[in-house]
């Protein structure tokens, strides 16, 4: 079953613009993670935010978490063509053994 | 340092056949996870192995099985293949079952005809 639901399902922007994708989940979590998948291959871990954190930054990535609304957002600033990929949120009830992935947002960044 | 490696990268089988997929975790990682990703869908959790034991399995029929070897590498076996088994099968590893982050391999694309 899917814990996280990403929104939008697909997003198309031009290089240099910001991209925002959202994730909603249903149950309480210990942390929420974002992963990136290029062309249907393996996923790469991007960032982890714990349930007691509200915002986290990593390079051009900014993640927010609102546990009262059970939602998170991933902002990619100054997007590049190389950011074209699918982005998944994954909710964690404590360990990687309990990671549950959402359905993903497909991001297309055009020149 | 080598990442998670999976073999083969692509596989074509026919209905009713059996298939074995292989995964080698990052050196030092003891936990291995298997996920199924059907076309355009999210990841569905299949199996978790840690220290040679099956620790948890997802909502899949018993014809999906696997094992973990003493060197922590793992196999996923699927018997009596069905058309809907066509998917990308992803293996991931973590430092331990208590770790929070997963490291993924590039997957095995299985097509069942």
Share of chain A above pLDDT 90, in %: 74
> From B49, which residue of chain A is nearest by alpha-carbon distance?
A97
pLDDT at residue A1 is higher than 60? no
Query: pLDDT digits over A51-82, tens only?
Result: 999 999 999 999 999 999 999 999 999 999 99
Per-residue pLDDT tens over the stretch A20-51? 999 999 888 999 999 999 986 889 999 999 99
Scan residues 48-67 of A and list those with Cβ closer than 8 Å to B: 48
The whole-angstrom distance between B99's CA and the closest CA on chain A is 6
pLDDT at A39: 84
Min distance B57 CA to chain A CA atoms (Å): 10
The pLDDT value given to residue A41: 83
Q: Does B105 touch chain A (CB under 8 A)?
A: yes
Question: Mean pLDDT by 10-residue block, N- to C-terminus, for chain B (113 residues)?
Answer: 92 98 96 91 90 92 97 98 97 84 95 97
pLDDT at position A95, please?
A: 58
Any chain B CB within 8 A of the CB of A102? yes
Distance from CA of B69 to the nearest CA of A (A): 18
Per the model's pLDDT, the better-predicted residue between A94 and A72 turns out to be A72
Q: A108 to each of A13, A18, A89, B7, how far by Cα in Å?
A: 6, 12, 17, 29
* Range A88-106 average pLDDT: 82
Instruction: Give me the pLDDT at residue A96, please.
Output: 56
| Mean pLDDT of all residues belonging to chain A | 91
Identify the pLDDT of residue A93.
74
What pLDDT score was predicted for residue B41?
75
Residue A3 confidence (pLDDT): 61
């Amino acid at each position: 079953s899917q814990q996280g639901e990403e929104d939008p399902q697909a997003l198309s922007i031009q290089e240099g613009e910001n991209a925002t994708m959202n994730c909603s989940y249903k149950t309480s979590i210990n942390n929420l993670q974002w992963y990136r998948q290029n062309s249907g291959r393996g996923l790469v871990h991007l960032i982890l935010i714990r349930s007691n954190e509200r915002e986290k930054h990593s390079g051009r990535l900014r993640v927010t978490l609102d546990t009262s609304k059970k939602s998170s957002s991933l902002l990619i600033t100054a997007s590049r063509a190389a950011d074209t990929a699918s982005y998944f949120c994954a909710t964690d009830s404590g360990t990687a053994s309990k990671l549950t992935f959402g359905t993903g947002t497909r991001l297309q960044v055009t020149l | 340092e080598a990442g998670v490696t999976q073999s083969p990268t692509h596989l074509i089988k026919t209905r009713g056949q059996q298939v074995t997929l292989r995964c080698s975790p990052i050196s030092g990682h003891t936990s291995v996870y298997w996920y199924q990703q059907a076309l355009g869908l999210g990841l569905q959790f299949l199996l978790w192995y840690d220290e040679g034991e099956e620790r948890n399995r997802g909502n899949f029929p018993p014809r999906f099985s696997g094992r973990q070897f003493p060197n922590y590498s793992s196999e996923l076996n699927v018997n009596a293949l069905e058309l809907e088994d066509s998917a990308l099968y992803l293996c991931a590893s973590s430092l331990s079952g208590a770790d929070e982050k997963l490291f993924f391999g590039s997957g095995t694309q299985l097509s069942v005809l």
